[in-house]
Structure 1
């Protein structure tokens, strides 16, 4: 191996290249994508020869055997010269034993490159690829690490050759696999694509350029390499075509083109030095002599690649540092959820105390509407998850919907006061699902009076003639208020589910999967179930008097309503009796008034109307009290109040030691996960330390102070821009907010008719990460169990509420 050849890859900023190599050495390359060179092209295009000429490593080759797996050649600086071969299992390897077997392939290092052939053949056997079979391709990656005191920091990847025609040795499935491998490497935006085309074949039939242009659409990181230029006849059309390529005229690439002369069958035994001399002789004659020396030969290609890679690294550096920072933040968040190692009782209790303290703080903020914690996120009107986490805002919205539903559909039948009355003018909010599927039922007042009259006849007691039985008012009120309990129960269960999902979100935010599962099952779930039962018991208490008690209005409001209704009814009757005489020139006589008022005193006619008036007056006062009681005595006192003290530091301190251990003890896989995250974090932080000296960013523009004249000159344009922005943004914002509210309610609201199988059904399915993707609120009904179960909080069990129906 020639040190002089490898030194040509060095540059004055070699420390930056050393940094990339250092990241790859410590394993950061497995966590973030690092800059590298990939060599790709059709089969027998000379890819491996290009790789060999650059690295000065002679790879085993046969004229009838193509590369059947990706080979990464990692050039690494080290005091001693060694070569090491390893295997990285492909992404489709799923068998743990197979993965471990491939990863354990680690033969001893050696310094003689002549031993590389045997070592690569052993690796191929380990991957299940043999030259005798000559069948199939592998997604496993063969890694050849070449270390030496003067090696540059460079990674070159030789990919399997692309092909079109299939045969017994090369199937259509393998062809697709090779294309997938090539595309996967090309899609790494930190890879430089060395697209190799051979002058032996028509360039139209070599698809590597088309694939590269599909992925690298601006051709910014693709360098074209032409091989076998000696095959073309001097002064021929073929030679002229490839000269146009080299001059960047045929297919324009940002990085341009380069030409190499490969070893032929006759020159395959030439030494590296003799090979280079033979190449120089070729490019110093004929039409190739006129081509720039920077675009021909291996000597200039090494320097050119070094310069290209350096510029590419500089361009990628800001994004690379951002990528590493993001992964550092991710590991820190996961480690924070796992907490420190907890092998002793004191460590376990401290771990739970930390969770409970943060849970108590977040819950208090959610209940008070002070959303300061990072858990609540920033302002984003399109994020349903963040809206849902703002618990107080959500519950207020649900209470408003409940009040609206009670006002509209609380009465069993709407009373039509006259024959011209077409029914209540009701505007049903599309986002209020308490009104979903509801249609109003009406009854004419005269018909209701007939029903009351008939009921009064059947219920006559010891009351005086002309006086109705006062029990009729209570009976009629109970009939009209029948929907109250169903609406209220539905509302309470929706609010309870909202709270339950909120608690789930908080715990998932604060701790790891294992601890979350333990806390939900042993601590949170039993407490929430108790709250649910308390809620339903309170509702039963609030509706008990409605079902069997007598109307007992308090205050003057009831009497005022009765008097007003009576006056309106009597006035309407007088108008009906007097008819056209009212307002006429003839005037009214005493006889007219006596005749009209006499009709009002006919026994029995006014009694049904009086009962209806009293029922309506009591209904209007009772429904307001009932709605307030549901919101305060039930939701606030029985659910939200206890929620704040459900999981506090006092809760942990009152636990027995055994319970603390059951909740906080960490299994072996948690310890392994913490070790893995700490190891990755150390690598990523080491990578940041490596790149920090090169992360030189332009400082922000300093601020300046405007005087009053400057501000006056800017005012008109600023105001115009603001008005223009408001005109454009307001409709969209309104629509977005309305849509967000409607979608949220549709997902939180459950159909109470489907509670027979349990409140949520079977939610034992494991949680998926990041499930707060676009729609984060599961419908708690049969549809959610079929279509959206992965988004629901697990381990809430199957809570049967059939007893509450």
Structure 2
């Protein structure tokens, strides 16, 4: 692998080329100098080039952010000669004396090509804005003299990353990556990342020491990083920070090569110690560590050719004491071969594993994408799916309102809202029991209270009834109750003759007694409305889920939107119509009583007979033993408490009160039936099928099926990840 300034570098090569890139009929001629010659393109080079290209494509696609990719990293102190080592590996001259390759990551890629070229660009870091000029930087030269352009391109890139004046108040490193690609006919595939040099002092105290160390150790910690740790021979190894970091992040040293530079500058005693370390004779350094020695250009050799540099290195390392080392540990050619062997061994081992991981990731992402709704179908498919869902919902609601349930809901809880008729019947029972227990404005003592709602004649559905109204009147005895009615008769007299009272007062008593009915009925209508709302919220997703994959996992969202936009407004209309019907029932309640039920006559006769019997019995006991001459109608009336005006009024009040209660019981049954039939059945259950529209317009379907911004953003993110995985898998599968 001679440099581009050498006899077989980018400026010239031997051998015959017979076609495009990668097509050669023979190996290049060996170099004249007795140094490592051009690294001939072996039979495995083409495979290695494909591997290197695949890894590079994976990095560009961003897979490196999710999975570790094989890479060689060059690290060490800022003045350890890293750039010189990298320059020797790549065999192209880098800019000197500027520090341009120590302040950001530099990725150098070598690839074979029939014609030489160099390419320099910048991958912007996360701190760069979308319009930052580093994004547009690109230097490329494909001419025979492209070697001279590389140094200039790198200088220009450095100025682009660190413009003049930057150093005065900004950190000394950037998160950009300088990408250098070198093509040549005698270039073997390899990729190396040069990291900023470690420093131990920051004069501006801007956190650069910590920032550089964190950057270097982040790359070191990646398990697929091959670490090229560069130290200088003229410095004590115990003081080399990079060696301690290698021990920390690569404890067994399996992926680290420790490179000693400037061996010609070390004193004899120090050279001997270095040799002991490299040969495993120094107990302070593990013997299994892999060491390598290189010679950098001397101070006055900056402009010498790569061939001259290689020749000087060969002569130095062939002499004592360095010739004691195995040739595989001496010189740039051996180092490159070692690095290539490690890199491609890791790649060939790990890339098939990575391919399997990416397939697993793809499956997981596809499942996640499907869970988010998948790809949006065409408007025609959506319209057909919507029509099918609405038809199913219409049929199901009609059946469920009648208590007919198919197998599609049997997996749901029996006490759930899908059993619509059951829930409405339960509400009806609670309504009936509430009316019986709380429908009257006061508690009467006329007869026994209605049966306990939770007794054997009450509701099967047991539920705590609402509390009695705060204004419900309570009487201690029946006489107290009738006395209160008597007072009302006195206070509401009209022009009738004295001791007579208008029987319309029975209606007044009934209206007052039945005043709570309307509020209880409104509550019942609201409860039925809620039952229907909950029903559609539960059953709609079931009907939409049977529409194939057109709605996908978004079916619940679409179903709930449909209920909210199309069902609930119609249910609200049903509620309003039911309340209008209830208002008409309320008008009937407040109208003059109309009774044709014989129970009213039976109750009247029974009450009158009972009162007559009580009075006769009372008078009989009172007049018992009285002489016949003393028994007259007045004595009888007095004994029967029917003599004074107050007693007559009390008796009338008792009769009116009993008539009102008999009327109340009859009207209560009729009213409960009417509320159920004319409000609940007529305006909810009978027309429940009509609540579902036959079809929807295209814009309505669009409104129902559109994705919310959060879900759409998630889908877009997953789609992008899937696209990256698909491209990455194609890269790997082509490589396999």
TM range (shorter): 0.5 to 0.7
The answer (yes or no) to whether the contact 1:19–1:690 under 8 Å persists in 2 is no
Measured at CA, do residues 548 and 209 of structure 1 come closer, stay the same or move farther in structure 2, by a change above 3 Å?
A: farther
Change (3 A) 1:466 1:625: closer
Candidates 169, 179, 194, aligned match of 1:143: 179
Q: Which residue of 2 aligns with 1:769?
A: none
1:476 aligns with 2:510: no
Is residue 2:161 matched to residue 1:127? yes
Question: Could you say if the C-alpha distance between residues 685 and 482 of structure 1 is closer, same or farther in structure 2, counting changes exceeding 3 Å?
Answer: closer
- The structural deviation recorded for 1:77 is 2.1
Q: CA deviation at 1:73?
A: 1.0
Q: In the alignment, which residue of structure 1 is the partner of 2:732? A: 691
Would the alpha carbon gap of residues 322 and 187 (structure 1) be closer, same or farther in structure 2, given more than 3 Å must change? farther
When residues 256 and 10 of structure 1 are mapped into structure 2, their CA distance, relative to the original with a 3 A threshold, is: farther
Aligned residue for 2:198, secondary structure, equals coil
3-state SS, counterpart of residue 44 of structure 1: coil
Aligned to 2:637: none
TM-superposition CA deviations, 1:136-191 (whole Å, max 9, x none): 333222221111234333221112223342124x732x455545644665576654
Question: Secondary structure, in 3 states, of the residue corresponding to 1:84?
Answer: strand
Deviation at 1:225, TM superposition (A): 2.3
Distance 1:246 1:211 in 2: 20
Change (3 A) 1:626 1:450: farther
Contact 2:313 2:331 in 1 (8 A): yes
Q: 1:126 and 1:407, CA in 2 relative to 1: closer, same or farther beyond 3 A? A: farther
| Residue aligning to 1:306 | 340
The residue that corresponds to 1:162 in the other structure is 198
Give the C-alpha shift of residue 198 in structure 1: 4.9
Q: How many residues align?
A: 559
Structure 1 residues 569-584: aligned runs within 5 Å: none
Aligned to 2:109: 74
In structure 1, distance between residues paired with 2:259 and 2:277: 10
Give the gaps of 5 or more residues in structure 2.
9-29, 31-35, 397-408, 455-463, 493-500, 590-598, 600-653, 707-715
Q: Are 1:192 and 1:223, in contact at CA under 8 Å, matched by a contact in 2?
A: yes
> Structure 2 residue aligned with 1:114, among 116, 124, 148?
148
What is the SS of the residue equivalent to 2:120?
Answer: strand
Q: Give the alignment partner of residue 353 of structure 1, picking from 352, 360, 380.
A: 380
Quick one: structure 1 residues 467 and 72, their matched pair in 2 at CA, closer, same or farther if it must change by over 3 Å?
A: same
Cα distance in 1 for residues equivalent to 2:685 and 2:139: 70
Per-residue deviation, 1:263: 1.5
Using the size of structure 2 for normalisation, the TM-score is 0.55
Match of 1:52 among 87, 94, 108: 87
* Aligned 8 A contact 2:575 2:683 in 1: yes
Give, in angstroms, the shift of residue 273 of structure 1.
4.4
The answer on whether the counterparts of 1:7 and 1:152 sit within 8 Å (CA) in structure 2 is: no
Q: In the alignment, what sits opposite 2:290? A: 257
Task: Give me the whole-angstrom Cα distance separating, in 2, the residues matched to 1:504 and 1:477.
Answer: 40
Inter-partner Cα distance in structure 2 for 1:314 and 1:293: 26
Q: SS of 2:294's equivalent?
A: coil
Separation (CA, whole Å) in 2 of partners of 1:117 and 1:446: 98
Q: Distance in 1 between matches of 2:345 and 2:301?
A: 34
Contact 2:104–2:178 (CA under 8 A) maintained in structure 1: yes
RMSD of aligned Cα (Å): 6.7
Q: Does 1:535 align with 2:571?
A: yes
Q: Measure, in 2, the Cα distance between the counterparts of 1:167 and 1:690.
A: 47
Structure 2 CA distance for aligned equivalents of residues 503 and 207 of structure 1: 68
Indicate how the Cα distance of structure 1 residues 625 and 280 shifts in structure 2: closer, same or farther if over 3 A, else same: farther
Deviation (angstroms), 1:328:
8.1
Aligned to 1:720: none
Q: Deviations over 1:225-264 (max 9, x none)?
A: 23347466666699479828979987889x9533333426
1:30 equivalent in alignment to 2:80: no
Q: Cα gap change, 1:292/1:488 in structure 2, threshold over 3 Å: closer, same or farther?
A: farther
Are the counterparts in 2 of residues 412 and 482 from structure 1 also a CA contact under 8 Å? no
Contact 1:414 1:440 in 2 (8 A): no
- Give the superposition deviation at 1:192: 3.6
Pairs within 5 Å for 1:274-289: 274-276=308-310, 278-279=312-313
Residue 696 (structure 2) pairs with residue 646 (structure 1): yes
Render the CA deviation track for 1:569-601: whole Å, top value 9, x for unaligned: xxxxxxxxxxxxxxxxxxxxxxxxxxxxxxxxx
Conserved? CA contact 2:100–2:155, under 8 Å = no
- Distance verdict in 2 for CA 1:500–1:366, change over 3 Å: closer
d(CA) in 2 for partners of 1:503, 1:202? 78
Q: Distance in 1 between matches of 2:319 and 2:110?
A: 34
Please tell me whether residue 105 in structure 1 is matched to residue 138 in structure 2: yes
Q: Write the mapping of 1:770-781 to structure 2, written as runs, cut at 5 A.
A: none
Q: Residue 74 of structure 1: SS of its match in structure 2? A: strand
Shift in Å, 1:80: 0.9
Unaligned 5+ residue runs, structure 1?
340-349, 370-389, 425-438, 553-561, 563-601, 665-673, 696-805
Matched residues in 1 for 2:677 and 2:213: separation? 70
Aligned to 2:260: 227
Q: CA deviation at 1:300?
A: 2.8
How far has the Cα of 1:59 moved from its partner?
1.0
